[in-house]
């Protein structure tokens, strides 16, 4: 603790407190890995219809950066928002959640 000139004691932040990340993260399946250092990830979400109340599946594809080209089609991955790396690529793959099952 350090004492300021006004006599108020200021405490240093605790080390055990975790900082929450401001990056958005999404979980989805890799549907294409044909590009160099880039994978296409399909994100599906359920949305309730405003009039009928039925839940519908909406999907969107994101291009994500894969530095080592280690992710394959069918893998379940987590992607995080990052700076723009290309015209259509502003996400990066952070971790592999589940590898694709080989039949």
**Contact 57/45 with Cβ under 8 angstroms?**
yes
Structural domains in the chain?
A: 16-98 (2.40.50.140)
Once rounded to an integer, what is the mean pLDDT over residues 34-50? 97
As a whole number, the mean pLDDT across the chain is 88
Residue 86: predicted pLDDT: 96
User: Rounded to the nearest 5 degrees, what angle is found at the Cα of 95, between the Cα atoms of 93 and 100?
Assistant: 95
Mean pLDDT of 21-31: 90
In the predicted model, is pLDDT for residue 12 greater than 60?
Answer: no
pLDDT at 56 over 80: yes
Strand partners, 26: 79
Distance CA 71, CA 89 (A): 16
> Is the confidence at residue 10, as pLDDT, over 90?
no
Which residues in 55-90 are b (16+ Cβ under 10 Å) and which e? Answer: eeeeeeebbbbbeeeebeeebebebbeeeeeeeebe
d(CA 18, CA 85) in angstroms, rounded, equals: 28
């Amino acid at each position: 603790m350090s004492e300021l000139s006004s006599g108020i004691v200021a405490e240093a932040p605790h080390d055990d407190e975790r900082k929450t990340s401001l990056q958005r993260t999404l979980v989805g399946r890799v549907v294409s890995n044909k590009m160099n250092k880039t994978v296409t990830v399909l994100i599906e979400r359920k949305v309730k219809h405003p009039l009928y109340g039925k839940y519908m599946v909406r999907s969107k594809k994101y291009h994500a950066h894969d530095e080592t080209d280690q992710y394959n089609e069918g893998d379940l991955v987590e992607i995080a928002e990052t700076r723009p790396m290309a015209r259509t690529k502003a996400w990066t793959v952070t971790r592999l959640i589940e590898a694709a099952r080989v039949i």
